[in-house]
Amino acid sequence: MACSKDHRYFSQFSALPYAQDDAKNDRHKCAGCAYAEGVKDALNGGQKSPTLPSCIPESQAGTVRHKDAYQAYCEGYQQGTKLNN
């Protein structure tokens, strides 16, 4: 499954580090979807996942191309925690 959402082009994801070595198996995952999943997990009171959730689709488009999707998830979780307080 591939992501086709507009968040693939959001400039906020340009600052994410690249997932150069694909050690975490997230190099081709959508950082925008990962960020949204992190926010959702935090708002729902869930624990931060130690790995990228398996529901994140792939994306090779725009500003999310080859970005560290797990880092995006962590940033989303942090934002969700702030919104939840």
| Cβ-proximal residues to 77 (8 Å cutoff; 6+ apart), any chain | 38, 39, 41, 42, 48
Comparing 24 with 45, which gets the higher pLDDT? 45
pTM for the full predicted model: 0.89
| Cβ-proximal residues to 25 (8 Å cutoff; 6+ apart), any chain | 52
**For tokens 């975490």, what's the residue?**
24
pLDDT at residue 74 is higher than 90:
yes
